[in-house]
């Protein structure tokens, strides 16, 4: 019998949630995704520091303004790491827009276009690039603009069904609902509750989103993310894609038990309801304390790590 990682690959596209090239080489996922936290961790490993130096050197040739150099270097570094990842995966690589732009539609669009231009300068086939954007209302509207221009987007930090639905309605290529962070919130509310297996609230959220998309014919890809244990992954086997950390990839590879496909495309189809309005989106988010808190927390943490990354780059300027 093949291990559970190999079994999972037969029913779900496996994505590596890491910037570590060696982990990707070992587990051979189809796609890779990064964020500021992962890039920050990567460049603190000595063997990856030359990429930071290369990014700073390039940025210094573009501008004499120190702040602009640091900003450009951060973008260049993300693209350099993304380009390296593309040498190791046959599919797509997600590169994230600065989280500090999460509430500015036009600034998000502009930054996305800058990242795509940097990939083109690297000679990269930009059809393999996904622009990763926080799924605020403003971010979702930015994705609508970018998708219309042929730039595919990964809407991240999805915690609420309202976010998922709004993303699908604007034609986002892919969404990343965060399983483990949803579980974290509910555990903090009631540590004694049974959240194992199918009772996991993060698993329930992704299952609901997946079933809704398939029933109503939305083509947006559902990619479960932020897993705390392989049990969550096992419960979502069959989801379009799952992005998994090296630690959990290793656990799956070491597990020999049969893996059952839990999610299946819907056989019953129905027309989609009218698209959400901004008012409806904001009200549903307001009514969902977990989603509101976790979205804000996620944006703040990515912004903090972006600033830490820029601090490291500033030392090289």
* Whole-angstrom distance, CA of residue 107 vs CA of residue 221: 25
Residues 6 or more apart in contact with residue 125 via CB below 8 angstroms: none
Beta bridge partners of 130: 94
Active site residue 269: no
Residue 92's nearest CA partner among 132, 2, 32, 149 is: 32
The Cα angle at residue 31 between residues 261 and 85, in degrees rounded to 5: 155
Residues 6 or more apart in contact with residue 281 via CB below 8 angstroms: 137, 162, 163, 166
C-alpha to C-alpha distances, 316 to 18, 91, 118, 302, nearest whole angstrom: 24, 32, 21, 22
Q: Six-digit token pair at 127?
A: 């059809």
Spot the catalytic one: 132, 144, 214, 294.
132
Which residues are known to be catalytic? 132
């Amino acid at each position: 019998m093949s291990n559970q990682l190999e079994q999972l690959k037969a029913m779900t596209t496996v994505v590596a949630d890491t910037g570590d090239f060696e982990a990707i080489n070992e587990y051979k996922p189809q796609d890779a995704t990064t964020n500021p936290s992962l890039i920050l961790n990567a460049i603190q490993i000595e063997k990856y520091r030359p990429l930071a130096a290369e990014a700073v050197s390039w940025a210094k040739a573009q501008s004499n303004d120190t702040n602009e150099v640091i900003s450009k270097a951060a973008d260049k570094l993300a693209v350099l790491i993304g380009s390296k990842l593309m040498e190791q995966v046959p599919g797509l690589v997600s590169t994230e827009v600065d989280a500090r732009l999460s509430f500015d539609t036009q600034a998000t669009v502009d930054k996305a276009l800058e990242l795509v231009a940097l990939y083109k300068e690297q000679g990269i086939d930009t059809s393999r690039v996904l622009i990763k954007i926080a799924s605020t209302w403003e971010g979702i509207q930015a994705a609508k603009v970018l998708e219309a221009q042929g730039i595919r987007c990964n809407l991240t930090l999805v915690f609420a069904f309202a976010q998922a639905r709004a993303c699908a309605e604007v034609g986002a290529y892919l969404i990343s609902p965060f399983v483990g962070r949803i579980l974290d919130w509910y555990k903090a509310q009631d540590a004694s509750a049974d959240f194992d297996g199918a009772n996991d609230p993060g698993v329930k959220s992704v299952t609901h989103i997946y079933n809704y998309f398939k029933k109503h014919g939305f083509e947006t890809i559902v990619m479960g993310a932020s897993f705390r244990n392989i049990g969550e992954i096992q419960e979502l086997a069959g989801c379009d894609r799952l992005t998994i950390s090296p630690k959990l990839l290793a656990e799956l590879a070491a597990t020999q038990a049969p893996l059952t496909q839990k999610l299946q495309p819907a056989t019953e189809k129905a027309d989609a309801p009218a698209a959400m309005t901004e008012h409806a989106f904001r009200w549903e988010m307001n009514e969902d304390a977990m989603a509101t808190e976790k979205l804000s927390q996620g944006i703040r943490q990515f912004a903090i790590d972006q600033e830490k990354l820029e601090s490291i780059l500033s030392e090289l300027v």
